[in-house]
Amino acid sequence: MLKIENLYATVGDTEILKGLSLELKAGEIHAIMGPNGAGKSTLAYALGGRPGYEVTEGSASFDGQDLLDMDPHERAAAGIFLGFQYPVEIPGVSNLQFLRESLNAQRAVRGEEALTGAEFIKLAKDKAALLKMDMDMLKRAVNVGFSGGEKKRNEMVQMGILDPKLAILDETDSGLDIDALRTVGSGINAIMRKPDKAVLLITHYQRLLDEVKPDFVHVLAAGRIVKTGGPELALQLENEGYEAIAEAA
């Protein structure tokens, strides 16, 4: 589904990704772990097409299409969802409005009809229930005044509504208490653990991986994948730290 080969990316004048290769097949969940500043968020942004993150070498394809050639909104419409480490607040725009516009914009690019108001509300209710999110919160302005954990749960509601093929989730577990972590974890499983979907889960901690069991774990250090393993690699990282493993690689 996603194939990244020898990717180099710069932010400003600094080269951050230095020859990163990674392949995700449908049905797989991959975790990426690595020290601060390794380039994890840069990878997520480069794949999402965020301005300022310039790919200078290498390739990335999504379902056989050249991803790097697509605009950010085309990438979203093709089925890529980006969950941010720091979700943005949008004052004056309600969650429901925002979600309906986003969904219908994506459907339009795909040549699908817009959902009616009633259809959309039913969908939003279903997904909010899955994430134990009150409908009142969906009526409020996007993320304004939400706690860190509420923002992350809200993001997972967005993900449920947009129903992407590939989710790239950047530290979705940061700021979550234990109950919220379980809710978010089971939400990710319910929405994305499917044979035709894939997830790239960027995280520092084992605890999210206890909920969302990865098929592969990669260590990202200094802009490259330096080690790949199964779920046991995450446990080893937690015990031994990144440095020992990155150096031994």
Ligand X SMILES: Nc1ncnc2c1ncn2[C@@H]1O[C@H](COP(=O)(O)OP(=O)(O)O)[C@@H](O)[C@H]1O
CB 205 within 8 A of CB 176: no
42 binds Mg ion (CB under 5 A): no
Q: What's the min distance (Å) between Cβ of 201 and Mg ion? A: 13
Q: What's the min distance (Å) between Cβ of 248 and Mg ion? A: 23
Q: Per-residue x/- marks for ligand X, 24-43, CB under 6 A?
A: ----------x-xxxxxxx-
41 binds Mg ion (CB under 5 A): yes
Partner that binds at residue 38, options Mg ion, ligand X, none, CB closer than 5 to 8 Å by kind: ligand X
**Window 107-166: residues binding ligand X (CB under 6 A):** none
How many whole angstroms separate alpha carbon 226 and alpha carbon 128? Answer: 38
CA 210 to chain centre: 18
Partner that binds at residue 95, options ligand X, Mg ion, none, CB closer than 5 to 8 Å by kind: none
How many whole angstroms separate alpha carbon 41 and alpha carbon 125? Answer: 31
DSSP letters spanning 163-216 = --SEEEEESTTTT--HHHHHHHHHHHHHHH-STT-EEEEE-S-HHHHHHS--SE
Q: What's the min distance (Å) between Cβ of 43 and ligand X? A: 7
**Window 35-94: residues binding ligand X (CB under 6 A):** 36-42
Say how many residues touch ligand X, by CB under 6 A.
Answer: 12
Answer for which of 2, 9, 16, 245 binds ligand X (CB under 6 A) is 16
Dihedral (Cα; 83, 212, 36, 246), 10-degree rounding: -140
Partner that binds at residue 36, options ligand X, Mg ion, none, CB closer than 5 to 8 Å by kind: ligand X
Q: Which is nearer to ligand X, 77 or 84 (CB)?
A: 84
Start-to-end CA span in the chain (Å): 27
Q: What's the min distance (Å) between Cβ of 103 and ligand X? A: 28
11 binds ligand X (CB under 6 A): yes
Candidates 79-87, 99-107, 116-124, 233-241 — which segment interacts with Mg ion by CB under 5 A?
79-87
Chain residues in the site for ligand X (CB under 6 A): 11-12, 14, 16, 34, 36-42
